[in-house]
Amino acid sequence: MKLSGHLRDNIRRLEAVYSNCADLIFHDLLVGGHTPAVLVYFEGLIRLDELDQHVVAPLRDGPGPDQGLEAIRHRTTVASVKTVATIDELVDEINGGRPVLLVDGHASALVFGLSDWEQRSVEEPAAESVLRGPREGFVETIRTNISLLRRRIRSPKLKVVTLKLGTRTNTPVAVIYLEDVASPSLVREVMSRLKRIEIEDVLETAYIEEWIEDNRYSPFPQLLSTERPDVASAYLMEGHVIIMVDGTPTVLVAPITFFALLQTPEDYYERYVVGTAIRWLRYLFFAISLLGPSLYVAVVTFHQEMIPTTLMLTMARSREQIPFSALMEAVLMETMFEALREAGARLPKQIGSAVSIVGALVIGQAAISAGIVSAPMVMVVAITGIASFMAPRYTIGIPIRLLRFPIMFLAGMMGLLGVMLGVIVILNHLLNLRSFGVPYMSPLAPLEGRGLKDVLWRAPRWMLNRRAKR
Amino acid sequence: MRRLALLLVLLPLCLLPVGGCWNAREVNDLAIITAAGIDRTEDGRIELSVKIYLTSPTGSDGGQMSGQPSSDKGTLVVRSATGINMADAASRLQKMVSRTVFWGQTEVFLFGERMARAGLEEPMDFLMRHIASRERSLVFVSERTAKDVMLLAPPIDRSVAEALIAMAEHQTGPNITLKELAQMLVGKSGAAVLPIVRINPVRDKQAAFPYIEGTAVFKDGRMIGELNEQATRGVMWLRNEMKQATVTVTPDDSGGYVSLHLLRNHTRLLPRIEDGRWIMIVRITGQDDIVENTTALDLSEPDHIGKVEEALERLVEDRVKYALELAQKEYRADIFRFADAFWRKYPKIWKANADRWDEIFPEVEVRLEPDLRIARPGLVGKNFFRREQR
């Protein structure tokens, strides 16, 4: 709907749209001392000082009457000014926190880019800390986040495409990619998937993640989320696309592979020998975190001959007075452990330590002396717990924690055969999975020789950099 | 359609728990056998005695709370059962034990001498066929009944089984596993050796312990005799099993002894057939350390080292010849696996003469080629207390 030439009408319409919005300010002023005008803005979303200094003050002795909107615009000393002519646009701008000037006798309004609001400063992300490497993390403001990427990749090829998602929240979303590195079809696919989203609100990237995944029923994440601009930049350099949402420090990377979820920035910041060793350790413990308790249950209930005799005798002695089967024991302890972890994660730091003390008692000596679980079981659960903490990304740790339980039951029912069955089912699923068309298990399946040097080991930097010469 | 597909996936899943925990055995429901003894009773039945590790806290540590394993050595019990054959005895044994008998951790099998002389085919069939028994467990022949050995409680180790394994590792006799025994029994030569376990002292049960001395010689699955310790050494040289030992030699007119520690020994059998004569060249190579020298020889002199080497080679030759003499002439049993060596090199000739092997073996001409060297004479050359210099 077009704006009318009468200030009264426009204001009345705006007041109708924003009924009961106490924080919306209508500021009357007389341009040049004769033409009535109104500044409309949300309190707290603008830079009030600058509005006073660069808009209100110059206009007070502003241009003479009947000089047109253009003259008023030139009178102000604001760098970002644009003109809008419809009520809907006007509402958008006001919602975005930009002050708007309506002048009597003009069927359009001026928008000043003076939005500003309270925001967290750039800090080290708590979930992804490193010993060596940049300590900056994304914040809740998309503008700041894009600037953090711009500062790392100073190239005009870094493209930022913005759109608004959420029919009610109108959240700005940015798709960022390197033009000559990312494949154009990938960018097109990301954009088209984003545009297909029908959603009322976008409060976190997770809201859109579930919409654009390839397989919506998989427990495995098909997009990588990170709070680190250096990680995001590294993925941009490899041709991935970053999806950013205003209001959250987490950004999404697409497409990704299974192995990307098992990497940390430090793999690349440490020397490659160390990086490789730590990566192998991580793979090993990843397997343990999935299979640890199941293997124990299988061996103890079905394959006793696999245990060295001396250990077997000690284990038999320690299990002698346990009322439960090994499977029950394992399920019990694993459930306890998951509960403790969840309790610890949600509690404030001061109470958290109390939980860990209680936890140490529950999963520990007290549980053994109470005769509820055996000592080897406690060890297995503890090792599995440590192993699951080694998952570098929380999102890959969760499905593994979850899948541990069905495999445990399979192990209790069929021994190693059951474990194998479970692993085959999971592998089957992983091999079928795709992230934006890229096979999830690549470069291992389908096998791609060149990619393996960043999966089987972390090849030294001079071997990884193959695009530099171009 | 989608619902149907889901149903098709979920229905088979419901079948999984139907099997229950089939075959599941908790460790604490098992009677873990650490050693098994097999004897033949006078009326030709088989007596199976097993050493079972007691995992339940009994007696002294019964007062302890919780399932914590006490640090002292576990208690063991011996149970035996008699049956017409191994399987029968084993099933009767299960009747005597409240928990499931578990063979998977049996580390030692002992055959009583009477059993060994009657033939091992029958028990071996059971042990090799049984899925749970370990092919890597060690096999011995017991001088007295196997049950007597089972009943021992050697003071140093946790159990008889552990004691015997530890002793076997020190290479005082051939170290034969169940798998090797089976291989020897079905091998081309049809002869086998097993170490003999004796009890010392026989009278006092409390202090008695088993030890390994001598070798039982088997032919066609039956024990036909035994070799004393000297001959056992010779057999071990020939079978390339001499890995760890100390030998003492007397070099010519030295007036003392030199003791050597065997280091890297290797015996190769090189068969040859020349004009219908079957010849076996035995090449023994090795490097040894000198650990003691009470002779007047200064071992920092290369010449003197040569003398010791000569003496060592002579000693080895003597022992090997002694063992050969016994095997070829007395027992006529090819316990050195000559047959396999000939078969490998001359498969056709062997095939033609396979039936005659029992006649050929005693006539095989053995040429010994020992080449033993002294690698390290030690930190001192001559013995300090010998004044006279040579």
pLDDT tens per residue across span A311-369: 888 888 888 888 888 888 899 889 988 888 888 878 887 777 777 788 777 777 888 88
The total of other beta-carbon atoms located within 10 Å of residue B19's CB is 11
Instruction: Print burial letters for A442-458: b (CB count within 10 Å at least 16), e (below 16).
Output: bbbeeeeeeeeebbeeb
Name B360's Cβ contacts closer than 8 Å, sequence gap at least 6.
B278, B353
Q: Identify the three-state secondary structure at position B77.
A: strand
Give the span between the Cα atoms of A97 and A403, in whole angstroms: 46
**Residue range(s) defining the domain that contains residue B159:** 27-57+72-227
Q: Which two tokens stand for residue A82?
A: 């644009």
Q: What is the pLDDT of residue A466?
A: 59
> How many angstroms separate the CA of residue B22 from the nearest CA in chain A?
7
Q: What is the pLDDT of residue A355?
A: 78
Q: Which strand (E) or helix (H) includes residue B257?
A: none
Q: What is the pLDDT of residue A443?
A: 86
* B64 belongs to a structural domain: no
Give the span between the Cα atoms of A82 and B175, in whole angstroms: 95
Please check whether residue B47 is in contact with residue B82, taking contact to mean a CB–CB distance below 8 angstroms. Answer: yes
A408: pLDDT strictly greater than 60: yes
Sheet containing strand A251-254, edge to edge, reads A158-165, A171-178, A241-245, A251-254, A224-226
Give the span between the Cα atoms of A205 and A168, in whole angstroms: 16
Which of B15, B26, B64, B135 should one mutate to test binding to chain A, selecting the residue with the greatest count of A CBs within 10 A?
B26
CB contact under 8 A, A316 and B23: no
- Judged by a CB distance cut-off of 8 A, whether residue A322 touches chain B is yes
Work out the mean pLDDT of chain B and round it to a whole number.
Answer: 82
B61: pLDDT strictly greater than 70: no
* B16 belongs to a structural domain: no
Give A35: exposed, middle or buried? Use CB within 10 Å, 0-12, 13-18, 19+. buried
Confidence of residue B74 (pLDDT cuts 50, 70, 90): low
Of the partner residues A304, A371, A410, the one whose CB lies closest to the CB of residue B27? A304
CB contact under 8 A, A368 and B134: no
- Judged by a CB distance cut-off of 8 A, whether residue A414 touches chain B is yes
Q: What is the pLDDT of residue B64?
A: 38
A418: pLDDT strictly greater than 50: yes
Give the span between the Cα atoms of B235 and B322, in whole angstroms: 9
Confidence of residue B71 (pLDDT cuts 50, 70, 90): very low
A407: pLDDT strictly greater than 90: yes
CA torsion B100→B106→B110→B116, rounded to 10°?
Answer: 80
Q: What is the mean pLDDT of residues A82-91?
A: 88
B154: pLDDT strictly greater than 80: no
Could you tell me what percentage of chain A is helix, strand and coil, using 3-state DSSP and rounding each to the nearest 5? 50, 15, 35
CB contact under 8 A, B65 and A369: yes
Please check whether residue A30 is in contact with residue A13, taking contact to mean a CB–CB distance below 8 angstroms. Answer: no
B177: pLDDT strictly greater than 80: yes
Q: What is the pLDDT of residue B357?
A: 86
Of the partner residues A302, A313, A413, the one whose CB lies closest to the CB of residue B17? A413
- Judged by a CB distance cut-off of 8 A, whether residue A368 touches chain B is yes
Q: What is the pLDDT of residue B211?
A: 86
Q: What is the mean pLDDT of residues B260-288?
A: 88
Q: Which two tokens stand for residue A447?
A: 């096998």
Size of interface A-B (CB pairs under 8 A): 100
Q: What is the mean pLDDT of residues B373-386?
A: 78
Q: What is the pLDDT of residue A153?
A: 92
Whole-prediction pTM value? 0.82
* B359 belongs to a structural domain: yes
Q: Which two tokens stand for residue B123?
A: 């028990």
Of the partner residues B20, B28, B107, the one whose CB lies closest to the CB of residue A319? B28
Amino acid letter at B240?
N
Of the partner residues A301, A316, A374, the one whose CB lies closest to the CB of residue B24? A301
Amino acid letter at A409?
F
* Residue B219 shares a structural domain with residue B237: no
The domain boundary, picked from B191, B206, B227, lies at B227
Sort out which chain A residues have CB atoms less than 8 A from B132's CB and list them.
305
Confidence of residue A148 (pLDDT cuts 50, 70, 90): very high
Q: What is the pLDDT of residue A282?
A: 93
Of the partner residues B19, B23, B55, the one whose CB lies closest to the CB of residue A302? B23
A138: pLDDT strictly greater than 90: yes
A448: pLDDT strictly greater than 50: yes
> How many angstroms separate the CA of residue B93 from the nearest CA in chain A?
20
> How many angstroms separate the CA of residue A426 from the nearest CA in chain B?
15
Going by C-alpha positions, the residue among A108, A80, A107 that lies closest to residue A96 is A80
* Residue B241 shares a structural domain with residue B372: yes
Q: What does the radius of gyration of chain B's CA atoms come to, in whole angstroms?
A: 27
* Residue B91 shares a structural domain with residue B136: yes
CB contact under 8 A, A368 and B57: no
Q: Identify the three-state secondary structure at position A105.
A: coil
Name A186's Cβ contacts closer than 8 Å, sequence gap at least 6.
A177, A239, A241, A254, A255, A436, A437
* B171 belongs to a structural domain: yes
* B3 belongs to a structural domain: no
* Residue B273 shares a structural domain with residue B378: yes
The total of other beta-carbon atoms located within 10 Å of residue B51's CB is 25
Q: What is the mean pLDDT of residues B209-229?
A: 88
Going by C-alpha positions, the residue among A343, A321, A340 that lies closest to residue A332 is A340
ipTM comes to 0.75
CA distances from B261 to A445, B51, B169 (A): 55, 36, 16
Amino acid letter at B380?
V
A63: pLDDT strictly greater than 80: no
Amino acid letter at B343?
W
Q: What is the pLDDT of residue B67?
A: 40
- DSSP symbols for A18-53: TTT-TTEEEEEEEETTTEEEEEEEETTSB-HHHHII
CB contact under 8 A, B68 and A318: yes
β-pairing, B76-83 vs B46-53, is: antiparallel
> How many angstroms separate the CA of residue B23 from the nearest CA in chain A?
7
Q: What is the mean pLDDT of residues B41-66?
A: 69
Work out the mean pLDDT of chain A and round it to a whole number.
Answer: 88
Q: Which two tokens stand for residue A62?
A: 């502003």
Confidence of residue A71 (pLDDT cuts 50, 70, 90): confident
* Residue B388 shares a structural domain with residue B346: yes
B253: pLDDT strictly greater than 80: no
Instruction: Print burial letters for A60-76: b (CB count within 10 Å at least 16), e (below 16).
Output: eebbeeeeebeebbebb
Percent of chain A exceeding pLDDT 90 equals: 34
pLDDT tens per residue across span A94-123: 888 899 998 888 888 889 988 888 888 888
B27: pLDDT strictly greater than 70: yes
Confidence of residue A292 (pLDDT cuts 50, 70, 90): very high
C-alpha B216: how far from its chain's center?
11
Give the span between the Cα atoms of A56 and A78, in whole angstroms: 11
* Residue B218 shares a structural domain with residue B333: no
Q: What is the pLDDT of residue A428?
A: 93
- Judged by a CB distance cut-off of 8 A, whether residue A317 touches chain B is yes
Q: What is the pLDDT of residue B387?
A: 62
Give A49: exposed, middle or buried? Use CB within 10 Å, 0-12, 13-18, 19+. exposed
Going by C-alpha positions, the residue among B232, B160, B169 that lies closest to residue B196 is B232
* Residue B197 shares a structural domain with residue B266: no
* B269 belongs to a structural domain: yes
- Judged by a CB distance cut-off of 8 A, whether residue A336 touches chain B is no
Q: Total domain count for chain B?
A: 2
The domain boundary, picked from B210, B227, B244, lies at B227
Nearest CA in chain B to A321: B67
> How many angstroms separate the CA of residue B102 from the nearest CA in chain A?
9
- DSSP symbols for A238-294: TT-EEEEETT-S-EEEES--TGGGG--HHHHHS-HHHHHHHHHHHHHHHHHHHHHHH
Q: What is the pLDDT of residue B205?
A: 65
- Give the domain CATH number at B352: 3.30.300.210
Confidence of residue B62 (pLDDT cuts 50, 70, 90): very low
* Residue B252 shares a structural domain with residue B218: no
Q: Which two tokens stand for residue A297?
A: 């249950």
Q: What is the pLDDT of residue A244?
A: 94
Going by C-alpha positions, the residue among A279, A232, A268, A265 that lies closest to residue A129 is A265
Of the partner residues A302, A322, A327, the one whose CB lies closest to the CB of residue B67? A322
> How many angstroms separate the CA of residue B68 from the nearest CA in chain A?
5
Sort out which chain A residues have CB atoms less than 8 A from B138's CB and list them.
none
* B178 belongs to a structural domain: yes
Please check whether residue A32 is in contact with residue A61, taking contact to mean a CB–CB distance below 8 angstroms. Answer: yes
* Residue B260 shares a structural domain with residue B208: no
pLDDT tens per residue across span A226-236: 999 999 999 99
Give the span between the Cα atoms of A345 and A128, in whole angstroms: 15
Do you know the residue count of chain A? 470
* B62 belongs to a structural domain: no
Nearest CA in chain A to B107: A309
Q: Identify the three-state secondary structure at position B387.
A: coil
CB contact under 8 A, A316 and B65: no
The domain boundary, picked from B177, B205, B227, lies at B227
* Residue B191 shares a structural domain with residue B304: no
Q: Which two tokens stand for residue B9?
A: 């996936």
Q: What is the pLDDT of residue A72?
A: 84
CB contact under 8 A, A316 and B55: yes
- Of A197-211, A258-272, B145-159, which range is least confident? B145-159
Please check whether residue A3 is in contact with residue A109, taking contact to mean a CB–CB distance below 8 angstroms. Answer: yes
Nearest CA in chain B to A370: B66
β-pairing, A109-112 vs B76-83, is: unpaired
* Residue B252 shares a structural domain with residue B304: yes
Give the span between the Cα atoms of A44 and A192, in whole angstroms: 35
Q: Which two tokens stand for residue B370?
A: 């020992």
Q: What is the mean pLDDT of residues B149-160?
A: 79
The total of other beta-carbon atoms located within 10 Å of residue B244's CB is 13
CA torsion B330→B331→B332→B338, rounded to 10°?
Answer: -110
pLDDT tens per residue across span A175-184: 999 998 899 9
Q: What is the mean pLDDT of residues A148-161?
A: 92
Q: Which two tokens stand for residue A354?
A: 């109390």
Give the span between the Cα atoms of B303 and A415, in whole angstroms: 66
Q: What is the pLDDT of residue B26?
A: 81
Amino acid letter at A369?
S
Which of A299, A300, A303, A304 should one mutate to test binding to chain B, selecting the residue with the greatest count of B CBs within 10 A?
A304
* Residue B85 shares a structural domain with residue B121: yes
CB contact under 8 A, A302 and B104: no
Of the partner residues B21, B22, B67, the one whose CB lies closest to the CB of residue A321? B67
Of the partner residues A316, A369, A415, the one whose CB lies closest to the CB of residue B27? A316
Q: Which residues pair with A81 in a beta bridge?
A: A112
> How many angstroms separate the CA of residue B26 from the nearest CA in chain A?
5
